[in-house]
Structure 1
Amino acid sequence: MSTPQIEQRANVEIYFDAAYDQQTSKSTSSLVCKGSGGRILASKSAFHSNVVSPFAAEAHAGLQAVRLRKQMGFTILHIISDSKTVLKKCQSFYRDSSIIRAFISYIQEIKSHFQEIQFQFIPRTENTCVDLIAKEALNKGEDFTWREGFQKPSEEKWSSYV
């Protein structure tokens, strides 16, 4: 494995956000994964049903962010979002008792698989790209995945967002 590939797998930033539709109890989680120099390595949106609240939608998006580790083999991860409460719960070592406890427990369990993992809050105005992807995916009702070097023709529309 060449040095740039090792760097990509070792130190990445994943931005996450969620969009929620209260009338249908559906949400989407969206992720944008950036490597060194801010290069986009991947983006993903996942559609979810039976979501109980916007808070649960954000927690589900956070879980999707740490799960990306398994798919892409990251060892050092920097997770960034505008969901301050979810990030604080992810950082905590205490057992969560809120409505999102299942998501938080799983995230806390996965944390041990990283060499290093950090959670960082950013204002919503700095997370607009990921927010836009989540809203668009919720409106369309579809998932998508894009990875550097691989793009299906049906996913070309998403490349303009990342």
Structure 2
Amino acid sequence: MEYEQAREEEQDNNAPLIHSEHQKRRETAKEDEICLFTDAAISAKMKRTGQGIVARNWKGKIMRAKGIVNQYKGVPSKEEALAIRNAILMAKHVGWTKIIVHSDSKSVIDQINRSNDYEYNIATILEDVQELRTHFESCRFVFIPRSENEISHTLTQFAVKLVYDIEWEQDFPSWLMVLVRKEMMVVALFCN
């Protein structure tokens, strides 16, 4: 609960700026860029963590999705950083060369974009992220509010209940496609 409260407060403080930043991001995504949306969740009750990664092309079409589960009690910033690193590893494995990584963890995104002064508990993970980003023609990291990261958040909630990791490349579950269509309709209304 503390984790969720801290994230909500972080998002509320940045709400006016976030809306204009998100609108700008939608306009600047290029045809050959893949947008990776990441999120992480912790279930203290089950002593598990989950990560959700959703890859979409510049038009919003879902390209790949992955749910990752770990059997331990996690730390929020570490889990968010791991989700970002796993998204980059997935993109590298698939062969994408231009990516934009979106996360609703402002502190982790800020640390990545500053490229130094990392929190001690995630320093090694963020150093990995910095090294991995060199394998891409273009690799950007962008903070988005939770309200714009609902698909990966829902996937994360699903992942935390899994026994094994799961990944989809072409045939996506219907509940995931419903969320994508719903979001695309909202974006279409917003942009028109």
TM-score between the two structures when normalised by the length of structure 2:
0.70
Q: Which runs of 5+ in 2 are unaligned?
A: 1-29, 181-192
In 1, distance between residues paired with 2:85 and 2:163? 20
Query: Post-superposition shift, 1:160?
Result: 4.2
**Partner amino acid, structure 2, of 1:119:** F
Q: CA RMSD in A?
A: 2.2
Query: Post-superposition shift, 1:51?
Result: 4.6
**Partner amino acid, structure 2, of 1:80:** H
Matched, 1:29 2:40: no
Percent identity, aligned pairs only, is 24
| Residue aligning to 2:60 | 38
Kept after mapping to 2: 8 A contact 1:30/1:133: yes
2:69 pairs, out of 21, 38, 47, with: 47
**Partner amino acid, structure 2, of 1:36:** W
Matched, 1:139 2:156: no
Query: Post-superposition shift, 1:25?
Result: 3.7
The count of corresponding residues between Structure 1 and Structure 2 is 151
**Structure 1 stretch displaced more, 94-103 or 66-75:** 94-103
In 2, distance between residues paired with 1:158 and 1:38? 13
| Residue aligning to 1:87 | 109
| Residue aligning to 1:12 | 34
Deviations 1:13-52 (A, max 9, x none): 0000011112444211101100131111011111123353
Matched, 1:57 2:79: yes
TM-score between the two structures when normalised by the length of structure 1:
0.82
